[in-house]
């Protein structure tokens, strides 16, 4: 036997085989339970206690690890002392043994309890790694992490899909993007990023949209062209996926997740090329139309068959993009999307940094430049060429783990029908 060890956690299974009690406990951030063993012949009083312990109870166990582990789960502790810290006061609303599946809604309604299930717990361990590696990568590249307001006077897109709030008698909005602020910062800092929440007031009813989400926003100044932004984003996503696979790839695969083990170089196709691929395969899309989910899904399958789950679509029509995107000729723009497995993960591009051209863009989009004066002023004082992107972190978790619904990637999702828990 080893040195004494203490374990705390929740009972996820109880098995009594003759005079031996086997209690499975989900401890710490482990993705597999530890089996607590108590033999009646060794300690009859302790055996009586643990043989009656309720499923879901919170325990503190003192014991020793055996030299030879019998448990198929791989971890075992022979208990010398067990303290029941808390017992369920009611029947558990979901099966924490994992044998009987609950409904999709119950896994969300009782997320705090569902986190005792290894597969659900794994999602949020992976999510934490993804967020951490995003920060590690960008910080190592000289980016400054910033925090911008989430109560704003004007939306980045200038649209109506914003949640309004009463700001001491004045109308304000919950931010749907830090776009304007991160661009303004390019007047004083060369590279910034932000990890934070965003809010969208659309009445979504899809498996990939939420009304509150978490995103990564990146902006970089003194770029040569949009390719600098594309390269950074590709390197970032490749790095994050690599670190995820290195950290817990085997565990994720054993739990049934469809991870991307090898993230290869991302193809870069223009909007025109993507449109041609689609229309050559039964679609009837006109130039300038955005790609709907059906078209995105087809493109995802098309590129996946070529062994590349991630790909860029570049040179979008300018009319379909926000005012701050730089034009590329009379009709096109330096805007791009990044799709993984047929789902848009990020969008970005080179920004218009010239004051007069940016002013004209606002007018051409039917927006009042006076509403954006606080933003436009920053472009008067030596604004360098710059570009960046916004990336949906919830979606990134979703596609890297092969989840079917974005709500699986969020602890307490907010959509048009869900405001609690």
Name the CATH superfamily for 5-91: Nucleic acid-binding proteins (2.40.50.140)
Task: Give the tens place of pLDDT for each residue, 9-44.
Answer: 999 999 999 999 999 999 999 999 999 999 999 999
Is residue 69 classed exposed, middle or buried when 0-12, 13-18 and 19+ CB atoms within 10 A define those classes? middle
Q: Give Cα 420 to chain centroid, integer Å.
A: 20
Q: Give Cα 414 to chain centroid, integer Å.
A: 14
Is residue 358 classed exposed, middle or buried when 0-12, 13-18 and 19+ CB atoms within 10 A define those classes? buried
Task: Give the tens place of pLDDT for each residue, 312-323.
Answer: 999 999 999 999
Annotated binding site for L-aspartate: 157, 200, 347, 351
CA distances from 142 to 57, 218, 219, 237 (A): 47, 12, 12, 17
> Over 60: is that where the pLDDT of 158 sits?
no
CB of 130 closer than 8 Å to CB of 397: yes
> Over 60: is that where the pLDDT of 159 sits?
no
pLDDT for 94 equals: 96
Percent of the chain exceeding pLDDT 70 equals 97
d(C-alpha 20, C-alpha 300), whole Å? 53
d(C-alpha 402, C-alpha 388), whole Å? 26
d(C-alpha 310, C-alpha 292), whole Å? 18
Q: What angle do CA 249, 250, 255 make, to 5 degrees?
A: 100
284: number of Cβ within 10 Å: 7
| 148's tokens | 């911008």
Cα distance from N-terminal residue to C-terminal residue, the chain: 45
Annotated binding site for ATP: 200-202, 208-210, 344, 392-395
Annotated binding site for Mg(2+): 344, 347
Domain with CATH 3.30.930.10 in the chain: 118-409
d(C-alpha 31, C-alpha 51), whole Å? 24
Percent of the chain exceeding pLDDT 90 equals 92
Q: Which residue has the tokens 């789960």?
A: 73
Name the CATH superfamily for 118-409: Bira Bifunctional Protein; Domain 2 (3.30.930.10)
**Confidence class for position 71, pLDDT limits 50, 70, 90:** low
| Run of H or E residues at 339 | strand 335-340
Going by their DSSP bridges, the two strands 144-145 and 191-199 should be labelled as: parallel
> Over 70: is that where the pLDDT of 346 sits?
yes
DSSP label of 281: T
Task: Give the tens place of pLDDT for each residue, 248-288.
Answer: 999 999 999 999 998 989 999 999 999 999 999 999 999 99
Annotated binding site: 157, 200-202, 208-210, 344, 347, 351, 392-395
Domain with CATH 2.40.50.140 in the chain: 5-91
Residues, the chain, total?
Answer: 421
Bridge partners of 62?
Answer: 6, 81
């Amino acid at each position: 036997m080893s040195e004494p060890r203490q374990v705390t956690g929740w009972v996820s299974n109880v098995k009594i085989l003759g005079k031996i009690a086997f209690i499975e406990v989900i401890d710490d951030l482990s993705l597999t339970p530890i089996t607590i063993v108590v033999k009646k012949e060794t300690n009859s009083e302790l055996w009586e206690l643990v043989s009656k312990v309720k499923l879901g109870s919170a325990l503190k166990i003192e014991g020793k690890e055996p030299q030879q582990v019998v448990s198929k789960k791989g971890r075992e502790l022979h208990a010398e002392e067990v303290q029941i810290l808390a017992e369920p006061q009611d029947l558990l609303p979901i099966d924490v043994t994992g044998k009987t599946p609950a409904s999709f809604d119950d896994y969300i309604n009782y997320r705090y309890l569902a986190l005792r299930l290894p597969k659900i717990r794994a999602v949020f361990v992976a999510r934490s790694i993804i967020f951490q590696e995003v920060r590690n990568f960008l910080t190592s590249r000289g980016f400054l992490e910033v925090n911008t307001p989430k109560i704003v006077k004007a939306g980045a897109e200038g649209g109506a899909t914003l949640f309004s709030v009463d700001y001491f008698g004045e109308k304000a909005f919950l931010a749907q993007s830090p776009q304007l602020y991160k661009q303004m910062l390019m007047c004083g800092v060369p590279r910034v990023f932000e990890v934070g929440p965003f809010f969208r007031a659309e009445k979504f009813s899809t498996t990939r949209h939420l009304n509150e989400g978490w995103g990564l926003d990146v902006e970089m100044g003194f770029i040569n062209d949009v390719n600098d932004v594309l390269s950074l984003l590709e390197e970032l996503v490749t790095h994050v996926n690599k670190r995820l696979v290195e950290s817990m790839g085997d565990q994720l695969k054993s739990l049934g997740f469809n991870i991307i083990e090898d993230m290869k170089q991302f193809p870069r196709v223009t909007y025109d090329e993507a449109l041609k691929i689609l229309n050559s395969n039964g679609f009837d899309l006109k130039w300038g139309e955005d790609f709907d989910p059906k078209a995105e899904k087809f493109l995802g399958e098309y590129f996946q068959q070529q062994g590349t789950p991630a790909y860029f679509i570049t040179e979008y029509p300018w009319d379909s993009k926000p005012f701050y995107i730089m034009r590329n000729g009379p009709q096109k723009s330096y805007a791009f999307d990044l799709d993984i497995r047929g789902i848009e993960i990020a969008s970005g591009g080179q920004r218009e940094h010239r004051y007069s051209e940016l002013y004209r863009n606002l007018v051409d989009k039917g927006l009042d430049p006076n509403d954006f004066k606080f933003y436009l002023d920053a472009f008067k004082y030596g604004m360098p060429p710059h570009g960046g992107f916004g990336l949906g972190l919830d979606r990134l978790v979703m596609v890297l783990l092969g989840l079917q619904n974005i709500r699986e990637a969020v602890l307490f999702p907010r959509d048009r029908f869900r405001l609690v828990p």
